[in-house]
């Protein structure tokens, strides 16, 4: 048995010594004459292997070996290497930098949108102890979601700011969303002048200071897509406003739009009831137009032509030059249209300003069939009428930012006018049927969603007969049967009606359904209506809250009459003669127009007298409190501060 054991020891030592020689740093401790050729050497080597001269060397070697082969050390090294490579690539490689920023931008929007969708889904599955608790929970959910999305929009800027501004002006969106998004009107960051220089040279073929003298580096206005500077135009010597697009917009526009499409498509797939793809479609269609300043210049020229034969207070600045990203136009000195201090300083009647705004936009919609779709206060200036002005008042309203206009085909325009006239009239069975008929023709809205659509049109909860009698859970507040009768409602009654409607089961889903069904142009008209009403409130007018509706109705009547004349003229031309039945139709249309128009003129005179009366009462109170200056301030809607 000795021989086999000796062979086993020999072979084992060979294997272990081989490993030892390859790995142990203490190999130098072996005698130089050590050999594996005899048994003594084998025993000696075995002893040296088990008891090296410097065992601590071997221990440290194994620790270093173990550390080098540890997985966490390997992966940590890889992470550090990738991080260094990423930083180098981000700073030195533009395509790589673009990709990284695009991914970051997309992730912010996706996280906000998905979190909000899940939040709403959870809300729908919950039970509530009372209607008040449910109303409060929904309001909090709206606010949470809106703030979540607002944070992502502000972080990304540009296109996303524009999307938020659009959401803020669509009345059928819950008020928590609209109020949260409204801050985006004033939350745009300016681009440094050095970044704009390259854009200007690229578009204009020369530097900024080659074309302008006294170019003010501080912008007078910053919007989501561009900013405006004041300068002296060297070729003409005129003081001009220079509109420059933010250079980074083009870099991320495509990827931002793809992200918006993907996010809303994902929400629609998992939560079909939350239909928001209309917003992505609208942005994809309109954003390229708004980013093309040549297109904006053409719109401004067309708007000037549409009002050329009209005695109006509207004024549009002249365009001197336009390229895709640079617009040079006449500079206008003025104040914001809702600046009550400015109006008081120049003795401008805020009631007349509100009526003129309604008149301008009503003519665009009902007569011209082509309208400015973004008239928020930042796009409107007011100034005292200069010499030679065609304004019938002592002021001019300056309309800015002509990047977004929409047209209305004749049938849609006339049917929309007929819908408005049916809302003005008392709610007889025939009138109620007409309202729902034209809601279907104009907005593709059936009886099930008609109340929500009507609320979007009027800015109120809904008129009497819009909801079924038992749909508002026994609401005892008397609602107006027409727009005219809403004048008698107090603010408390209006709020009570709105709360009752807000508690209606499934209303939030109905809102999304309306947004999905309504044609895009009609949605823009709803947005225009809401902006006009918002301006009326911002001006703190003293006339009735339906005064702007009555002004709008006059243009509806005119549009219907013009359509009747066109239709009858076409019939006469095709038949070659004017028959008695055709003459009767013509006379009936003319008579209807005259009667309704005169009724509206008389009614608006009554409302204007009521507004004047409120102003005179305020004037007298101010006179009593602080003399003539107090009377002037009170009539202008300014606070009167009594001296001690």
Q: What is the pLDDT of residue 592?
A: 93
Q: Which domain-ending residue is among 291, 311, 332?
A: 291
456 with 575, same domain: the answer is no
What average pLDDT score do residues 499-515 get?
Answer: 61
Q: Is 111 exposed, middle or buried (0-12, 13-18, 19+ CB in 10 A)?
A: middle
The pLDDT tens digits for 398-451 are 999 999 999 999 999 999 999 999 988 888 899 999 999 999 999 888 888 888
The pLDDT tens digits for 230-267 are 999 999 999 999 999 998 887 777 777 877 777 777 77
143 with 273, same domain: the answer is yes
550 with 625, same domain: the answer is yes
* Domain of 14, in residue numbers: 2-69
What average pLDDT score do residues 59-70 get?
Answer: 50
102 with 242, same domain: the answer is yes
What average pLDDT score do residues 377-400 get?
Answer: 94
What average pLDDT score do residues 558-564 get?
Answer: 95
SS3 389: coil
CA distance 572 to 579: 8
Band (476; pLDDT cuts 50, 70, 90):
very low
Can you state the percent helix, strand and coil of the chain, rounding each to 5?
A: 65, 5, 25
What average pLDDT score do residues 281-301 get?
Answer: 90
Dihedral of CA atoms 340, 343, 346, 350 in degrees, nearest 10, equals -130
CA distance 502 to 349: 36
420 with 489, same domain: the answer is yes
Within a domain: residue 230?
yes
592 with 506, same domain: the answer is no
What average pLDDT score do residues 41-47 get?
Answer: 42
Residue with the larger pLDDT of the pair 386 and 271: 386
Q: How far is CA 73 from CA 62, 64, 76, 78, 83, in A?
A: 16, 12, 5, 9, 15
Residue with the larger pLDDT of the pair 19 and 424: 424
Q: Is 460 exposed, middle or buried (0-12, 13-18, 19+ CB in 10 A)?
A: buried
Position 227 pLDDT exceeds 70: yes
Dihedral sign computed on CA atoms, order 540, 546, 550, 555: positive
Position 499 pLDDT exceeds 60: no
Q: What is the pLDDT of residue 73?
A: 58
Which residues, in sequence order, are CB contacts of 600 under 8 Å at separation 6+?
Answer: 550, 553, 554, 557
64 with 147, same domain: the answer is no
423 with 503, same domain: the answer is yes
| Beta strands 380-384; 335-336: pairing state | antiparallel
Within a domain: residue 403?
no
Q: Which domain-ending residue is among 467, 496, 531?
A: 531
CB-CB contact of 466 with 475 (8 Å): no
* Two structure tokens written together for 620: 């007298």
Instruction: List the catalytic residue out of 338, 374, 475, 530.
Output: 374
The yes-or-no answer on residue 254 being catalytic is: no
CA distance 593 to 479: 28
Percent of the chain having pLDDT more than 90? Answer: 40
Contacts 24+ apart (CB under 8 A), 177-183: 177/142, 177/145, 177/146, 180/143, 180/146, 180/147, 180/150, 181/146, 181/150, 183/150
Band (597; pLDDT cuts 50, 70, 90):
very high
187 with 62, same domain: the answer is no
Average pLDDT, the chain: 79
**Exposure string over 22-35, b if 16+ CB within 10 A, otherwise e:** eebebeeebeeeee
CA distance 516 to 443: 10
Q: What is the pLDDT of residue 37?
A: 42
Within a domain: residue 420?
yes
Q: What residues pair up with 381 in beta bridges, in sequence order? A: 336, 398
160 with 251, same domain: the answer is yes
CA distance 465 to 429: 9
Q: What is the pLDDT of residue 415?
A: 95
CA distance 424 to 533: 16
CA distance 398 to 337: 9
For every residue of 481-512, DSSP letters joined together read: SSTGGGGG--HHHHHHHHHHHHTSTTHHHHHH
208: phi > 0 → left, psi -120 to 50 → alpha, else beta; which? alpha
Q: What is the pLDDT of residue 367?
A: 94
CB-CB contact of 305 with 315 (8 Å): no
461 with 523, same domain: the answer is yes
Counting Cα atoms < 13 Å in the Cβ hemisphere of 1 gives: 0
Within a domain: residue 580?
yes
Selection from 31-35, 45-49, 85-89, 603-607 with the highest mean pLDDT: 603-607
CA distance 521 to 293: 22
Q: Which domain-ending residue is among 531, 565, 586?
A: 531
Structural domains in the chain (count):
4
What average pLDDT score do residues 506-515 get?
Answer: 68
Q: What is the pLDDT of residue 486?
A: 62
Band (314; pLDDT cuts 50, 70, 90):
very high
Within a domain: residue 520?
yes
Residue with the larger pLDDT of the pair 103 and 52: 103
CA distance 106 to 155: 11
Q: What residues pair up with 628 in beta bridges, in sequence order? A: none
Within a domain: residue 452?
yes
* Two structure tokens written together for 158: 């540009």
422 with 485, same domain: the answer is yes
Residue with the larger pLDDT of the pair 123 and 245: 245
Within a domain: residue 219?
yes
Within a domain: residue 563?
yes
């Amino acid at each position: 048995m000795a021989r086999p054991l000796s062979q086993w020891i020999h072979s084992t030592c060979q294997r272990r010594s081989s490993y030892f020689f390859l790995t142990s740093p203490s190999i130098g401790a072996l005698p130089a004459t050590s050999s594996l050729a005899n048994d003594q050497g084998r025993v000696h080597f075995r002893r040296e292997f088990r008891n090296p001269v410097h065992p601590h060397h071997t221990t440290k070697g194994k620790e270093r070996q173990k550390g080098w082969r540890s997985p966490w050390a390997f992966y940590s090294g890889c992470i550090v290497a990738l991080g260094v490579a990423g930083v180098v690539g981000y700073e030195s490689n533009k395509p790589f930098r673009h990709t990284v920023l695009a991914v970051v931008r997309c992730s912010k929007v996706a996280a906000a949108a998905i979190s909000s969708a899940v939040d709403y889904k959870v809300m729908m599955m919950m039970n509530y102890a009372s209607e008040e608790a449910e109303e409060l929970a929904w309001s909090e959910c709206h606010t949470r979601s809106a703030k979540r999305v607002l944070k992502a929009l502000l972080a990304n800027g540009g296109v996303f700011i524009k999307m938020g501004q659009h959401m803020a002006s669509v009345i059928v969106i819950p008020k928590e969303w609209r109020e949260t998004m409204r801050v985006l009107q004033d939350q745009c960051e300016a681009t440094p002048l050095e970044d704009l220089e390259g854009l200007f040279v690229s578009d204009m073929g020369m530097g900024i200071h080659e074309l302008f003298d006294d170019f003010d580096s501080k912008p007078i206005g910053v919007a989501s897509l561009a900013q405006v500077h004041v300068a002296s135009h060297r070729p003409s010597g005129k003081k001009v406003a220079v509109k420059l697009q933010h250079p980074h917009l083009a870099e991320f526009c495509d990827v931002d739009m793809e992200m918006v499409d993907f996010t809303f498509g994902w929400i629609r797939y998992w939560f079909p009831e939350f239909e928001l793809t209309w917003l992505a479609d609208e942005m994809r269609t309109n954003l390229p137009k708004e980013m093309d300043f040549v297109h904006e210049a053409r719109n401004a020229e067309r708007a000037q032509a549409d009002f050329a034969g009209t005695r109006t207070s509207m004024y549009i600045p002249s365009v001197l030059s336009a390229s895709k990203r640079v617009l040079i136009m006449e500079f206008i000195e003025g104040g914001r249209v809702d600046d009550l201090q400015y109006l008081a300083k120049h003795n401008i009647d805020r009631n007349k300003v509100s009526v003129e705004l309604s008149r301008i936009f009503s003519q665009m919609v009902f007569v011209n069939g082509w309208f400015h779709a973004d008239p928020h206060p930042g796009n409107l200036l007011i100034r005292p009428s200069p010499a030679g002005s065609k304004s019938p008042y002592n002021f001019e309203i300056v309309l800015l930012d002509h990047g977004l206009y929409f047209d209305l085909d004749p049938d849609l325009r006339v049917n929309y006018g007929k819908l408005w006239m049916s809302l003005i009239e008392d709610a007889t069975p025939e009138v109620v049927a007409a309202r729902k008929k034209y809601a279907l023709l104009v907005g593709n809205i059936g009886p099930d969603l008609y109340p929500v659509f009507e609320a979007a049109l009027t800015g109120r909860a809904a008129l009497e007969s819009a909801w079924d009698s038992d749909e508002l859970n026994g609401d005892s507040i008397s609602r107006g049967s027409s727009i005219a009768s809403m004048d008698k409602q107090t603010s408390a009654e209006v709020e009570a009606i709105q709360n009752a409607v807000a508690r209606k089961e499934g209303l939030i889903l109905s809102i999304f359904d309306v947004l999905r069904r309504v044609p895009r142009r009609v949605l823009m008209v709803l947005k225009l209506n809401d902006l006009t009403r918002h301006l009326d409130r911002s001006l703190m007018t003293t006339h009735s809250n339906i005064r702007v509706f009555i002004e709008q109705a006059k243009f509806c009547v005119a549009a219907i009459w013009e359509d009747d004349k066109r239709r009858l003229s076409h019939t006469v031309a095709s038949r070659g003669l004017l028959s008695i039945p055709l003459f009767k139709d013509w006379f009936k249309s003319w008579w209807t127009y005259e009667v309704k128009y005169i009724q509206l003129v008389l009614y608006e005179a009554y409302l204007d007298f009521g507004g004047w009366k409120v102003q005179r009462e305020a004037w007298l109170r101010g006179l009593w409190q602080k003399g003539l200056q107090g009377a002037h301030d009170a009539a202008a809607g300014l606070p009167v501060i009594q001296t001690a």
